Amino acid sequence: MKEMELKYGCNPNQKPSRVFMKEGELPITVLNGRPGYINLLDALNGWQLVKELKKATGLPAATSFKHVSPAGAAVGLPLSEVEKKIYFVEGMELTPLASAYARARGADRMSSFGDYIALSDVCDVQTAKIIAREVSDGIIAPGYTEEALEVLKKKKKGNYNIVVIDENYVPAPVETKDVFGITFEQGRNELDINKDSFTNIVTENKELPDSAKIDLAIAMITLKYTQSNSVCYVKGGQAIGIGAGQQSRIHCTRLAGQKADTWWLRQHEKVLNLEFVDGLGRADRDNAIDVYISDEHDDVLAEGVWQTKFKTKPEVFTKEEQRAWLDKMTDVALGSDAFFPFGDNIERAHKSGVKYVAQPGGSVRDDNVIETCNKHNMVMAFTGIRLFHH
């Protein structure tokens, strides 16, 4: 098939809409549903991300995409019992690929609501069963087992978007995009990022373990497909906070740091022990948890409100308790798609347990940024690589 007609473009008024190949056949086939314009943007960006994550780490990879940026990305490492609980996969059989998606979806569950999924490997039934329980628009993968396909086809009343991609497809080295009737052309960003990309360590502390190199590679590959400006926090093989599309880098760092903090706070015993009313869906539980640990927690604890979410009135989760718990989050890796112009980014990252940093370098204030890292005994590598994505 050389082209595919779409229902409409970014918005219902943008018609006609299609995807097509100028030469050759489309590398994607729709097995179920009718993906839209934004769906396919998410699918194709997500596929590139997971393909590169697997190449860099050797592990199955998954990403949860929303509006052309990842909400989460991860590789298939085992989950702890706490992680299984906060990702709502307790008691489920978890293959490495299923673990990768549980991690990718669980990093920022609020943002992943209604996601488009990309998997690096053939989707197995264990992964499909996790996807079946979540609100999602569609999936792209290099293949599906028969059992997985049957599970996925039942989603959204049989209209779930299921796309298979030719994993051997290689795009043309030059890409184009039309804006306001004008065609832009550029070479594709073919930079190879892996755990060996962080040899130029500029801080006093130069101890960069292999686990941190993998986390930094995950951060930088994730940023390669995140709308800029962007910053990514990674811990234990998964992105735990992504700040995308901000005009100011410190706002990226704060946004991503806040998401990383929320991920860690969900693992506190006060959150783990929350008792929800019977029948409350996962999305509603996510919303209740998010408000409970936010500055709006008084709204949840108010008389007449908490009863709609919880069996018993939750204890107050004080800012002092939250800070004490956040101080236990350590060895976090941080990547930035462009240089840090000020040390304030490092100060904010330190509050979220960041120990390892990768960024291009090249700011007139590099000395200040390095000095701030040294103050906190961080390890920072200059990659010399900018990863803007628009």
> Which residues are catalytically annotated?
66-67, 229, 390
> Which DSSP helix (H) or strand (E) runs through 372?
helix 366-375
Q: Residue 239, SS3?
A: strand
Instruction: Indicate the burial class of 357 (C-beta count within 10 angstroms; 0-12, 13-18, 19 or more).
Output: buried
Sign of the torsion angle spanned by Cα atoms 25, 28, 30, 34: negative
Q: d(Cα 244, Cα 211) in Å, to the nearest integer?
A: 25
- Tokens linked to 124: 């197995």
Q: Residue 167, SS3?
A: coil
- State the Cα angle at 53 between 339 and 73, rounded to 5°: 75
Tell me which residue has tokens 């179920």: 32
Q: d(Cα 175, Cα 188) in Å, to the nearest integer?
A: 6
Query: Measuring CA to CA, which residue among 100, 17, 104, 34 is closest to residue 66?
Result: 104
- Tokens linked to 305: 């409100």
